[in-house]
A and B are shown apart, each in its own frame.
Chain A
Amino acid sequence: MAIEIRTLTAGNVWKVLVQPGDIVAEGDVLFIMEVMKMEVPHTAPAGGKVTAVYVAADQEGLDADAPAVDLEENA
């Protein structure tokens, strides 16, 4: 099943830790946003394969609820 991970907050992208093709486990951090000088980690809701990444490190002024990472969940 395809899972769409969206941004949890408005803010900047600090780090992106995955790229398309990566295999991730549930709870792995996919990318970290920064707002109010705080880190907001975004984790994989399930294990699977990263199929697309729409965010880049140092990207500024993102909206909340924007598409960030697509994941194909393990069967």
Chain B
Amino acid sequence: MTLEIIKPGLETSVQDWPGRYGFWNQGFPPSGPMDSWSFRLANLLVGNVVGAPALECQYIGPTLRFGAETVFAVTGADMLPTLDGAPVPLWQSVTAQPGQVLAMSFAKLGARAYLALAGGIDVEPWLGSRATFHKAGIGGVGGHALKPGQQVPLGVPAATAKAGLIVEEAARPVISTDRRWEIEVVAGPNDDWIDGEGHARFLSADWKLSGKSDRTGFRLDGPDWTFTEKALHKAPEHGSLPSNIIDQGYPLGAINLAGQTPIILVNDGPSMGGFINPYTVPQAAFWKLGQSKPGETYRFKAVSVAESQAMARSLAALCTDASILSSIV
């Protein structure tokens, strides 16, 4: 059971969820899907466990040929998928026949689509995960994004895998159509380096997502930051900029202030460095980062740690079989 890559799309990669956990202290990020909401639901549609290895397609989707009869599902961004030219519904499981070609186009809505295949993708785990981290050349197929001509091996499908399952409308993420997103943030770890005006400005300004954003970091354009005495008068070993600090560990989702430029450290981001992190985006809000495009606008909303944990629990509750319905085929 294989999938032949005809056209790879733009950095399409194998990811699993929650990714490569437990090695952050050695510099390995978790990787995994940026929109784990859509990813988990795609797996459930095809009878897999929520975290099974599947494909993340970014901006321009791949074209693939099925080697055997395969149940698959596409969720997340709308890349106008077709199977031998016939439109494929999103958020629904579909059966492909041997030799049929699934073609995905540009992302018409959102930025990242997920293609789950019954049985998952059968590649070797590396440090316990099959997620691709291409900067280190590990995980996925040969450590990198898919390439033309590759044969991607598929696992053994569950006996329950079948076409015609559909994700309940209320359980799907709603991708912004007005180019604006509200992103939750938790203050810290270095919020005491920013003054009151700086915090008020961060939480009230429009921040534009830069084109220089990828699975390592999401760079934002917006107003300048202002700092407290702690940042302005400090020991020289911290570094010369107000946002410099003696090298420290970074949380995943940190809003890392490089000089005056905030960069959200996402799935393939660095684990440490010498800039402050005034805020952190909780993981339950990552799907919005994953589905937003360059030029779109973020407005940040402060939430507590308890609220961000409740968000993660609500999301986990949506990503269960209770959200999967049988449709009339």
Asked if A65 is at the interface (CB within 8 A of a chain B CB), the reply is: yes
Which B residues are in CB contact (< 8 Å) with A62? Answer: 295
Asked if A1 is at the interface (CB within 8 A of a chain B CB), the reply is: no
**CA of A38 to CA of B293, assembled, Å:** 14
Q: CB distance A37 to B214 under 8 Å?
A: yes
Q: CB distance B214 to A36 under 8 Å?
A: yes
Q: CB distance A64 to B108 under 8 Å?
A: yes
Q: CB distance B107 to A9 under 8 Å?
A: yes
Q: CB distance A65 to B108 under 8 Å?
A: yes
Q: CB distance B293 to A61 under 8 Å?
A: yes
Asked if A29 is at the interface (CB within 8 A of a chain B CB), the reply is: no
Give B292 Cβ to nearest chain A Cβ, in Å. 10
Asked if A28 is at the interface (CB within 8 A of a chain B CB), the reply is: no
**CA of A40 to CA of B107, assembled, Å:** 14
A11 with B215, Cβ < 8 A, contacts A35-B10, A64-B107, A65-B106 known = no
Determine the interface band of chain B, counting residues with CB < 8 A from chain A: 20 to 34
**CA of A34 to CA of B294, assembled, Å:** 10
Asked if A56 is at the interface (CB within 8 A of a chain B CB), the reply is: no
- Contacting residue for B107 out of A10, A12, A34, A37, CB 8 A: A10
**CA of A11 to CA of B293, assembled, Å:** 7
Q: CB distance B59 to A11 under 8 Å?
A: yes
Q: CB distance B60 to A9 under 8 Å?
A: yes
What 0/1 pattern do residues 1 to 36 of A give for CB contact below 8 A with B? Answer: 000000111111000000000000000000000111
Q: CB distance A64 to B106 under 8 Å?
A: yes
Give A55 Cβ to nearest chain B Cβ, in Å. 13
Most chain B beta-carbon neighbours within 10 Å: one of A7, A9, A34, A40: A9
The residue in chain B whose Cβ has the minimal distance to the Cβ of A14 is B211
**CA of A5 to CA of B107, assembled, Å:** 17
**CA of A36 to CA of B11, assembled, Å:** 9
Which A residues are in CB contact (< 8 Å) with B106? Answer: 7-10, 64-65
Interface residues of B (CB under 8 A from A): 10-11, 58-60, 106-108, 111, 179, 208, 211-215, 293-296
27 A-B pairs (CB sep. < 8 Å) = A8-B60, A9-B10, A9-B60, A9-B107, A10-B111, A10-B294, A11-B294, A12-B211, A34-B212, A35-B10, A35-B211, A35-B294, A36-B213, A37-B212, A38-B10, A38-B11, A38-B214, A60-B208, A60-B211, A60-B294, A60-B295, A61-B294, A61-B296, A62-B295, A64-B59, A65-B106, A65-B108
Interface residues of A (CB under 8 A from B): 7-12, 34-38, 40, 60-62, 64-65
Interface contacts beyond A10-B293, A35-B294: sample of 19 additional A-B pairs, CB < 8 Å, sorted by A: A7-B106, A10-B106, A10-B294, A12-B294, A12-B295, A35-B59, A35-B211, A36-B58, A36-B59, A37-B213, A60-B208, A60-B211, A61-B293, A61-B294, A62-B295, A64-B106, A64-B107, A64-B108, A65-B106
